[in-house]
A and B are shown apart, each in its own frame.
Chain A
Amino acid sequence: MEFEFDEDQRLLKQLVRETVIRSRNQPPDQLWATYRGLGWLDAPPVELTIVLEELGYVADPTPFLATATWFMPLTGRTPDGSGTGVFDGSGRFVLDADRADEVALLTSDGVVLRPGGAPRVATFDPTLHVGHVDAPGLVAGIPDLALTGLAITAVGACRHVLDLVVAHVKQRHQFGVPIGSFQAVKHKAADMYVAIERARALAYYAALTIAEDDPRAYEAARMAKTAAGECQRLVYQSGLQLFGAMGYTWENELQIYLKRAKACDLLLGTAAEHRKALVA
């Protein structure tokens, strides 16, 4: 096995990072047009995962995740506009069901298409779009890529939380020293880092098994989703704790990434559910 990015993948990561930072104040429509123009929707699984990690890092407000990992695995095509998919059998809390141009439904009669436009459901994540889809004959069959997409998005968001926490504890002084010099703080930060590395590795492994059409993809995608859920749990807990009262405010951007990571765990089955599935 080889488990490191090649040169092209490194360049892609760099490009995505620069693009999202440069355009971070643009409205979602404009961002969406930029991503489409760069051809990211058509990236193969590992490259797509690289894109999604960076989009997770900035808690991307576009329908990219839903289109690439909820719509495209069901339909096997790139939509003209945006898309999403319904494949958990319930139609509840479907990513971007309110604003997607096309919704692909997994039903007992196969994949059925219809336009989006469900009412947006208010959630704790202010930039997340979800809606409920009511349709007959829905059946469950979650694509491995959809689980992997949520997993790597959570990892990206967790990385941002850790970066903010590290910057905070270096700069925040108490008792005359930066609080980051205390071992109680260091050890929490180190554990956050390890949890992120573990979840990140499993997310890329899932992408790799999907890319190579390997039979381990089913298990790998569930490992990725579980590990990302475990990771966000620790990163949310320790991240908010280490930020102190400052992280508890609406103004502080920490909340954005904490919430995106938490939302990713709650969608399509939490860590606890997938963990059970792994040993069923």
Chain B
Amino acid sequence: MKLTDDAEVEKFRAEFAAFLDANLPAETEATERPRSTSHIPEWARRWQRKLFEAGWLVPGNPPEYGGRHATLPQMVAHQEELSRRRIYHSFNPQGVGIIAASLLSFGTEEQKRRWAVPILRAEITASLGMSEPGAGSDLAGLATRAVADGDHFVVNGQKVWTSGAHDADVLLTFVRTDPDAPKHKGISVLLIPTATEGVTRRPFASINGAHDTDFNEVFFNDAEVPKENLVGPLNEGWRVANGSLGHERTMLWLGYVEWMDDVIRDSPCPHGEWYADLLMDRQALRLLGYQQLSGTRNPAEVSVLKLFGSEAVQRATLHALEAGGAESLLHPAQTGPYSHMSMESSWASWFERYTRSFGGTIAGGTSEIQRNIIAERILGLPR
């Protein structure tokens, strides 16, 4: 245990900080705003490509995939430097963090070249098709069917909550390829270009406002997808799902720390008792996150980080909302400093910050599911 970082991490951090200082796009250049999580304005594409080429996009990757073989503590330092400055490294976060990562873990060399690299270089954007109207917490119950037919699959079914789909070039889609196998064993993963005939995307607005159309319903109607777009082995999609989300989950806590840091910085009420709890939650989450990085813990402990982090953000944003009293009715409103390098939501009205916190407690395994996992896989209670 020690408070300071290793010299290698410090050096890495300083190098990245210097890169950011020298290369950050100017505010005047960054006027066009991203409208969804798969829409990257031209200036932000140039920015992401610059990070890719310098090996600063996903530092844990090898250089040919936008990294520099960084260690986990170095990756944490990277993320900390970005969030301290309220900078997004990619405005297609799920494309870089989940889809490209999955392709690098499970894809063929051709898939890496054809899809992963363009996603990382911001030449194309990607969205993730997992949830369905009938498959949320019970994701393995998904019903979208893909039937092999010669050199392609024919896909029929529906996805929902597909963030950014209407702006995405490709969807990493979880489909059922063996309806007779036990539900976890008949799932496969397909890369489905959104331009494919039979793919219909319908964005819909969220509780945040009629303009907030990131979510999509996606309908597949006899969509033909080449067999070479199968990611990982046939019927092994559940393994890919765990792998892709696993990637994201190791570092997920950092996102919650970042949200809490934003509330701490922008809080209208730094002497409220809830603010003390926020300071403690933020510190404790960081400590538990670092503890998890050491790799000595039960992997199920990531559920502790997710549950605790997402609910701490929710408490904090709720208290900040309430602390504003009637002033908090204003919406849209700016509650933090404008930052051209991040999404509007990071300085949005307290109402929006609070409602967005439900993304943390519902998406990626609800808090209720996390509690079940903690009770069963850590405490050993019967299923």
Contacts and interface: CB of A to CB of B under 8 A. Distances in A.
Interface stretch (A64-72, A91-99, A192-200): A192-200
26 contacts: A1-B2, A1-B290, A9-B1, A162-B379, A169-B381, A178-B382, A180-B381, A183-B368, A183-B371, A186-B381, A189-B374, A189-B381, A190-B370, A193-B379, A198-B280, A198-B284, A201-B291, A202-B280, A208-B2, A208-B3, A209-B3, A272-B273, A275-B273, A276-B276, A278-B280, A279-B272
B279 A278 contact: yes
B271 A198 contact: no
Given A170-B382, A181-B383, A4 B296 contact: yes
A279 B270 CA distance: 7
A184 B273 CA distance: 29
B43 interface: no
B150 interface: no
Choose among B296, B371, B372, B381 the residue with the greatest number of A CB atoms under 10 Å from its CB: B381
- Range of interface residues on B (Cβ < 8 Å): 35 or more
B4 interface: yes
B138 interface: no
A257 interface: no
Contacts of B283: 202, 205, 220, 223
B183 to A, nearest CB: 21
Contacts of A185: 381
A220 B283 CA distance: 9
B287 A201 contact: yes
B28 interface: no
Interface residues of A, number: 47
The majority secondary structure among interface residues of chain B is helix
Interface in B243-278: 270-273, 275-277
Contacts of B5: 1
Interface in B283-298: 283-284, 286-288, 290-291, 294, 296
A197 B284 CA distance: 8
B3 A214 contact: yes
B381 A181 contact: yes
A198 B281 contact: yes
B371 A166 contact: no
A275 B280 CA distance: 10
Given A4-B296, A279-B275, 20 more contacts: A1-B286, A2-B73, A4-B291, A166-B379, A166-B380, A166-B381, A180-B382, A181-B381, A186-B375, A186-B381, A187-B375, A189-B375, A191-B371, A198-B280, A201-B284, A205-B283, A220-B283, A275-B276, A278-B279, A279-B276
